[in-house]
Structure 1
Amino acid sequence: MPLVNIQILQGRPEEKVKELIQNVTEVVSMTLAAPKENVRVIVTEVPKTHWGIGGIPVSEISGR
């Protein structure tokens, strides 16, 4: 049973997260010849205050 963990920054529309889950499931299923019912996808949304780039929280970087 394939299990895929994905971490993304919080703030994307629910529909985009749903689309991500569907697309990842499709690719993993095709690549591994695994039934879609056996593919698990976990999406964790991380607040911008808890994600750092170059030592700076994303919430403090303009344009993100």
Structure 2
Amino acid sequence: MPTFRIELFEGRSQEKKRELVEALTKETCRVLECDPGSVDIILIDVKREHWATGGVLWSERS
């Protein structure tokens, strides 16, 4: 049913990722009244040198 695609800077621990997907799944099921097995979450780790905001790469920010 719902699929979340989340892009985040690399470096977060497996624990933090687990905490995030558990919380998102729980809240999604509460709001949408769906089964946890129907919630897909795709986490994509992105290097800071591959992400820019306002024309500036995050790897070059101070």
Moved over 2 A (4+): none
Structure 2: segments with no counterpart, 5+ residues: none
Rounded Cα–Cα distance in structure 2 between residues aligned with 1:51 and 1:11: 14
Q: CA deviation at 1:54?
A: 1.3
In the TM superposition, what are the counterparts of 1:1-64 in structure 2 within 5 Å? 1-62=1-62
Aligned residues: 62
Deviation of 1:28 (Å): 0.7
TM-score by length of 2: 0.91
> Match of 1:6, as an amino acid?
I
C-alpha distance in structure 1 between counterparts of 2:42 and 2:57, whole Å: 23
TM-score by length of 1: 0.88
* TM superposition shift of 1:53: 1.4
Q: Which consecutive residues of structure 1, in runs of 5 or more, have no partner in the other structure?
A: none
